[in-house]
């Protein structure tokens, strides 16, 4: 029995880690390094989240190339112009348009248009019934 065999019986080495420890070398602790790397990644993600929250709280975002450009949307002149345009377009309101064309694309709405076209041409009701399917002939 050699000296190393006796030593292994008294104080056995635990594989490669035990041999390195016996020589006085430190063993790399992978778990601790992984925990440290995870903490660093979490800190980076927290910083990114805080930056994105700050950007969202501003209410708008701009491309980097337009950061120094002043916005023209909220100028008073533009708001005044929009108010004038709204007043000028009051006759084009949607409710009036919807009332005028409430039969648009409904069943039987073509009959109303046909009768309008026939009335323009002053065709009697009896002739309208006969020529109901041929009203395209009468469109001027």
**pLDDT for position 49:** 94
Structural domain contains residue 23? yes
Task: For residue range 16-58, list pLDDT tens digits in order.
Answer: 888 888 888 888 889 999 999 999 999 999 999 998 888 777 7
Comparing 96-100, 106-110, 120-124, the range with the smallest average pLDDT is 96-100
The answer as to whether 110 is a domain residue is: yes
Number of domains making up the chain = 2
Domain carrying residue 13: 1-28
Residue 54 lies in a domain: no
Question: Is residue 34 one of the residues assigned to a domain?
Answer: no
In a domain, 61, yes or no: no
d(CA 34, CA 130): 89
The phi, psi pair for 108, rounded to 5°, reads 85, 0
């Amino acid at each position: 029995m050699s000296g190393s065999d006796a030593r292994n019986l008294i104080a056995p080495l635990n594989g490669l880690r035990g041999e390195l420890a016996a020589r006085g070398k430190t063993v790399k602790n992978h778990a601790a390094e992984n925990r440290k790397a995870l903490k660093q990644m979490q800190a980076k993600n927290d910083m990114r989240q805080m930056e994105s929250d700050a950007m969202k709280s501003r209410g708008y975002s701009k491309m980097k190339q337009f950061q120094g450009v002043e916005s023209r949307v909220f100028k008073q002149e533009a708001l005044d112009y929009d108010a004038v345009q709204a007043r000028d377009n009051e006759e084009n309101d949607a409710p009036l348009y919807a009332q005028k064309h409430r039969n648009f694309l409904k069943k039987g709405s073509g009959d109303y248009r046909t009768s309008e076209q026939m009335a323009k041409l002053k065709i009697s009701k009896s002739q309208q019934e006969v020529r109901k399917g041929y009203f395209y002939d009468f469109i001027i």
